[in-house]
Amino acid sequence: MGRIPVIIDTDPGHDDAIALMLAVSSGFLDIRGITVSAGNSTIDNTSRNALSILEHIGCGAKVFKGAERPMLSLLKPSKEIHGGDGLSGTTVKEPAGYAETINAVQFLEDEVKLSEEKITIIALGPLTNIAAFILAAPELKHRISEIFMMGGAVFGGNRTPAAEFNVWQDPEAAHIVFESGIPIVMCGLDVTRKCGMLEKDIERIKGSRGKACILASEIIDFFGNSTGNREVIFHDAVAVTRVLRPELFRSSDYNVVIDLDGRYTRGCTVVDTIGISGGRINAEVVLDADREGVSSFIAESLLRIDGETGRVSC
């Protein structure tokens, strides 16, 4: 089986860093480019972080800067979770390279148009870049195979009682994506919260002195403490795992709409689990996972980058 052609849209972010390392380590993804938006931090920080992470693990994938803010509102970075620069607590170096001169949305349009195969998008941040692409080139929607996204929730949020951070950051963009007709796999808080890293796998990561595992260990120490959770949950890495190891997950198909104007529920992904709305099914919603399998896969992937469980190519 050939490698899956993908574009990864992200806003690094600690768990984005783990997710990018998983994607690179798999060998199953043909990474055509990394598009970056503001989200966890400013666009300058998130693009720099993407470059630093890729250089750290020796991956030459190109980085394209995109949206500096949500479509209709101001950026609200997650400084309390990711620190001032998005990767606080890590010793990853400043990048030697630079983002490409072409804008992320133009790159999406060009790559999707010219690719001989349909493109899969892995979306790990706010959906601003993807929505802008859909608005700019609606005639290319059919060239997107699927959008695997980390975001949303059936039950409860993490930025407000009702809304998950990535969707809450730019609800209008999420609305455009969910109404686009492109197949969506929504890997939200319902499943990611069930995928905390197991202690035995954390010990394996911390026991390695390879570059990927050292960075992951620093992230575990900072990110785990900053979230206030007893468990370390790499939300974005769970979404990438769903792409690579679908047999570890359980999902159902639902109609999902985005609340744009609720006083208490703006940014909520309203999932019609009882089929009462009459709306079309527009998303596969991931609900459960084999926690041990996911945790082990994340650890194995990081160790693979460091050459302990096999070779990796980017």
Reduce the DSSP state of residue 249 to 3 states and report it. strand
82 included as an active-site residue: no
Q: Quick check: 163 and 151 in contact, CB under 8 A?
A: no
φ, ψ at 187 (rounded to 5°)? -105, 90
φ, ψ at 50 (rounded to 5°)? -60, -45
Residue type for 136, please?
A: A
Residue type for 228, please?
A: G
Q: Give the integer Cα–Cα distance in Å for 176 and 285.
A: 17
Which helix (H) or strand (E) segment is 67 a member of?
A: none
Out of 14, 56, 82, 235, pick the active-site residue.
Answer: 235
Residue reference for tokens 């300058």: 44
Q: Quick check: 62 and 34 in contact, CB under 8 A?
A: yes
Measure Cα distances from 268 to 146, 168, 170, 243, 281 in Å: 22, 7, 11, 24, 17
Catalytic residues: 235
